[in-house]
A and B are shown apart, each in its own frame.
Chain A
Amino acid sequence: METLVMPAINFAAIMPETILSIVAMVLLLLNVFVPGEQKAYLAYLSLIGIVVAFFSVVSGWNAPLPMQEGFNGSVLQDNFSLFFKAIFLISAGLAVLISDHYMVKEECNYGELYPLILFATAGMMLMASGTDLMTIFLGLEVLSVSLYVLAGYNRSNIKSNEAGLKYFLLGAFSTGFLLYGMALTYGATGTTKIAKIASAAALDATLSSNPMFVVGMLLMAVGFSFKIAAAPFHMWTPDVYEGAPTPMTAFMSAGPKAAGFAAFIRVLMVAMPTLKADWSDLLWILAVLTMTVGNIIALSQNNIKRMLAYSSIAHAGYALVGFTAGNGEGTAGILFYMLSYAFMNIGAFAIIILVGKKGEPNNNVEDYAGFGVKHPVLAMIMALFLFSLAGMPPTAGFVGKFYLFSAALKSGYVWLVVIGVLNSAASCYYYLRVMVYMYMKDPVEEFDWMKLSPAIWASIAISAVGVIVPGIVPSIILQLAQKAILL
């Protein structure tokens, strides 16, 4: 008797995505029945969903290959994608924790927020584990469409409207480039599967000089650069980050950026190893531009959200340094860095949320004058996040930067690293400025409007632990990152 051959659908490979999507849909339904003042329950439910998804991510670690593959090879839940999925879940969880406080304060607690965060996270996951251009595109769009709404979520606030609209127009525009790139790559290789593109490139040496393939790669690089906000494709970032509701800014700068890197890395490293010399040069330029532009403009920012937006551009630049290295160390460095960045950045934004009044008229650096006197513990934690962003030891930010830079040095990119290091020194200035105001200026305000809720405390505490512990004992995470790199 012949056994029935099942189609190669393996739900285990998209288990976390499935969990999140189901929870999100249930929440959407529940939202109709939950009255306005009890929307916090939706946050708790979504946290449960995130925790369950996290467990499924953990249980998938080191699974045998047949368990990883699904949907006829369109998704691959390997360690690489699992590490990224953990980053996404952590940033989503922290974003949910800091959201309720903000949404109540800004009076836009509509409740759809939480399902949207979950959908966005599912999209990111699909991007990280997609091994087919189609899956990556789909994941990217699930993410982007959710993010457009999240950026414009505070619909009565003009800044938020602008952020949403701007993000939407530029995001859709960049998607066009990405898609065109995918189409041309498909035309040159006859497939949309990344592994098959790689084998086509390996078999056919002329492919690397085929204009269709090269232009396809370039267009895809442009599309991904938009998503990770690499200069010169970063113009949307500051406005969107400044205008979006602060918890969503925190979320966007951590999760989706990592997702962009995940897909970018997989496409370039796996599909186009034959073109490595070319894309390394390209990434070199991109990295230098991104770091320098981000840092230089950040120097002159007064609005702290905007400053962190530019700094997040600079941080993408540091990650690109590791990407340029093109070796396993570099990839592991990016994994480690993205994880640390999620903690330190969301932590800093959590404190910005706490300090902000309704409508956030007080987001300027000057508004932090004397914060260290009035709230010594919170200020100390903020200083910790800022030092980590600046790359001072003993924080996760330092270890991450160290990892990235040493990977690039190993590949011989001395000048790139020198530029990175000088950038890093310059970046100290604007992080120090916040500390100067927090500690060295006399208080103007009493900071008595600040309300500390348990959720926001939890998010700050988790972030602080996530910054300090990997800074002192990074071995475990380094080992995980090492096991998670692509070949």
Chain B
Amino acid sequence: MLEKYLILSAILFSIGTLGVLIRRNAIVIFMCVEMMLNAVNLTFIALSKHLGNIDGQVFVFFVMTVAAAEAAVGLALMIAFFKNRESIDVEDINVMKL
């Protein structure tokens, strides 16, 4: 049973990663990051259940809290960026070049 959960979360994690790499809208990218984090949460819960040990579940609570804090800060940064550039397309994050 464990394998199925692990495979599912691996797939979710990969979709999230892929999304970060190919999407261009900062908010969508952020949603993909959230998806990665939730894939990890799923892994933790499945493992916790499998191992009969509560550490994984505790970890999930922390991840959720942190994700909420990140969302608050991240969206604020996007708003600040939007105010100056009127876009949240990552293609427009280009004032500084190599």
Interface residues in chain A, defined as those with a beta carbon under 8 Å from any beta carbon in chain B: 133-134, 137-138, 141, 144-145, 148-149, 152, 155-156, 158-159, 161-162, 164-166, 168-169, 172-173, 175-176, 179-180, 182-184, 186-187, 190-192, 238-239, 242-243, 297, 306
Contacts and interface: CB of A to CB of B under 8 A. Distances in A.
Nearest to B45: A183
Contacts of A190: 51, 53
Contacts of A179: 36-37, 40, 63
Nearest to A148: B73
A148 B59 contact: no
B93 interface: yes
B80 A186 contact: no
B84 A158 contact: yes
**Residue from the set A159, A168, A182 with the largest chain B CB neighbour count within 10 Å:** A168
Interface in B6-39: 6, 13, 16-17, 20, 26, 29-30, 33, 36-37, 39
B69 to A, nearest CB: 5
Interface of B: 6, 13, 16-17, 20, 26, 29-30, 33, 36-37, 39-40, 43-44, 47, 50-51, 53, 55-56, 58-59, 62-63, 66, 69-70, 73-74, 76-78, 80-81, 83-85, 90, 93-96, 98
Nearest to A181: B40
Contacts of B59: 133-134, 137, 182-183, 186, 192
B74 A168 contact: yes
15 contacts: A137-B59, A137-B62, A137-B63, A141-B69, A145-B66, A152-B80, A158-B85, A158-B95, A159-B95, A169-B74, A179-B63, A183-B40, A183-B43, A187-B47, A190-B53
B92 to A, nearest CB: 9
Given A145-B69, A162-B93, 12 more contacts: A161-B80, A161-B81, A162-B94, A168-B77, A173-B20, A176-B33, A179-B40, A180-B13, A182-B59, A184-B43, A191-B53, A239-B93
Contacts of A165: 26, 77-78, 81, 93
B9 to A, nearest CB: 8
B96 A172 contact: no
Main secondary structure of the interface of A (DSSP, over half): helix
Contacts of B63: 137, 179
Contacts of A144: 70
A172 B30 contact: yes
Contact of A159 (B13, B83, B96): B96
A242 B95 CA distance: 11
A239 B78 CA distance: 17
A176 B43 contact: no
B74 A172 contact: yes
A312 B69 CA distance: 29
A180 B96 contact: no
A149 B76 CA distance: 9
B23 to A, nearest CB: 11
A169 B81 contact: no
Nearest to A161: B81
B40 A161 contact: no
Nearest to A135: B62
Nearest to A137: B62
Nearest to A189: B51
Given A169-B29, A179-B63, A243-B96, A186 B77 contact: no
Nearest to A243: B96
B36 A186 contact: no
A211 to B, nearest CB: 11
Contacts of A242: 96
B25 to A, nearest CB: 11
B73 A162 contact: no
